[in-house]
Amino acid sequence: MKDSVEKDEIVLDTSGTECPIPVLKARKLASELTKDITIKVIATDPLAEVDFQHYCNQSGFEYLSCEKNEDKILIKYKFKIQN
């Protein structure tokens, strides 16, 4: 997994993994964050869009978008610190 920060967003590359690994990696990342930030997930699992919509709904995060480019799925959501 490659994580990087681009333009005030964290990029979480889950390419090559399948459900539930992308969401599990996002949960691990969430446990390490200390401020609200946009997360961009790069995925190849065709179920990632639905999985992340559910994850954001259950976690109180704002699901922003999903783009499909060739064999990659780019999902963006807003991580929010839970009080």
19 included as an active-site residue: yes
Task: Report the domain count for the chain.
Answer: 1
Rounded CA separation 7/11 (Å): 10
Average pLDDT over residues 32-43: 94
Residue 3's pLDDT band, with cuts at 50, 70 and 90, is low
Catalytic pick among 19, 21, 29, 37: 19
- Beta strand 62-69 pairing with 72-79: antiparallel
Enclosing H/E stretch for 14: none
Write down the pLDDT at residue 64: 98
Most confident of 1-5, 34-38, 74-78: 74-78
What's the mean per-residue pLDDT of the chain? 92
Residue 49's domain comprises 2-79
Q: Which residue has the tokens 């949960």?
A: 27
State CA 53 to chain mean position distance: 10
Residue 81 has pLDDT above 90, yes or no: no
Provide the 3-class DSSP secondary structure of residue 83.
coil
CATH code, domain with 63: 3.30.110.40
Q: Which residues contact 28 (CB under 8 A, 6 or more apart)?
A: none
